[in-house]
Structure 1
Amino acid sequence: MRTNAKRQDKTSSPIYGCEARKITKTEEEKWTAFYMCLRKILRIWWPQRISNKTISETSGVAKISEEIRRRRWNWIGHILRKERNNDCMVAMGWQPEGKRKIGRPKTTWRRTAEQERRSAGWTSWANARRTAEDRTAWRLRVAALCASWHGEH
């Protein structure tokens, strides 16, 4: 019972509004450190060699980064099912004009989504849109993608 209350307190804050947020490696590492807090809650000490995966299964708390990716892709599916002239769809395809600053481009939500789309095997947003039209197939694909990104085939 205590674990359930703590799970809701600890996981709600990083997940709130995560669909529209970019994910950096640093943030992902910080969310992974959440398992240290969970170990204290479950009273697991360092001599007990228990993996984070085992802790996740026993406590019912999924990886926060996996949950964020799953929510982002559910939201992307929602956007892709909208009409083409919808503001969200226009924003997905919008290309800003002008020159950018020197150096590596900043990590943005769109770049993160584009990179994940390419790694998922969709060559374009039109291909992803065709998959998103079938909600059941989309849910299955998103679940498989989130599992494969985290090495849980």
Structure 2
Amino acid sequence: MMRHLRSIMRITWVDKVPSKEVLERTGLPSMEDLLTRKNLRWTGHLMRMSPNRLPNKSIYSQMPSVHRKRGRPRLRFKDTIKRNQKLRDIKTHSLASLSQQRDKWREIVK
């Protein structure tokens, strides 16, 4: 994406313009911001679903304890939800009530 933006704006690597500045000039969000938005949108859908639906069950279920490999544990979807909540300053206890109010949820996600 950045390569195409740079070619449209005729910015070469010799100009040494950082990617953050290219995004500011174009007014486009970063890839991290886009992924955070998509994740929060899906989280809102999950919170509004009934608890007996499969996606909701899979989020709140726990795997039986198994032997883990060495190193850092792999991120779960729950962990990314928590990280994105911190990025958008959403309190954990207010997540369920905010997601039920679609207008407020859309404002937070954008």
TM-score range, shorter chain: 0.7 to 0.9
Aligned residue among 57, 66, 72 for 2:33: 66
User: Unaligned stretches of 5+ in structure 1?
Assistant: 1-33, 144-153
Q: Does the Cα contact within 8 Å between 2:40 and 2:84 map onto a contact in 1?
A: no
* Residues 71-97 of structure 1: per-residue CA shift (max 9 Å, x gap): 110111011111111111111111111
> Normalised by the size of structure 1, how large is the TM-score?
0.57
Q: Give, in angstroms, the shift of residue 118 of structure 1.
A: 5.0
- 1:132 corresponds in structure 2 to 99
- 1:122 corresponds in structure 2 to 91
- 1:101 corresponds in structure 2 to 68
SS at match of 1:130: helix
User: Unaligned stretches of 5+ in structure 2?
Assistant: none
Alignment length, in residue pairs?
108
* Residues 8-45 of structure 1: per-residue CA shift (max 9 Å, x gap): xxxxxxxxxxxxxxxxxxxxxxxxxx424421342112
Residue pairs, 1:3-152, within 5 angstroms: 34-48=1-15, 50-103=17-70, 104-118=72-86, 120-124=89-93, 127-143=94-110
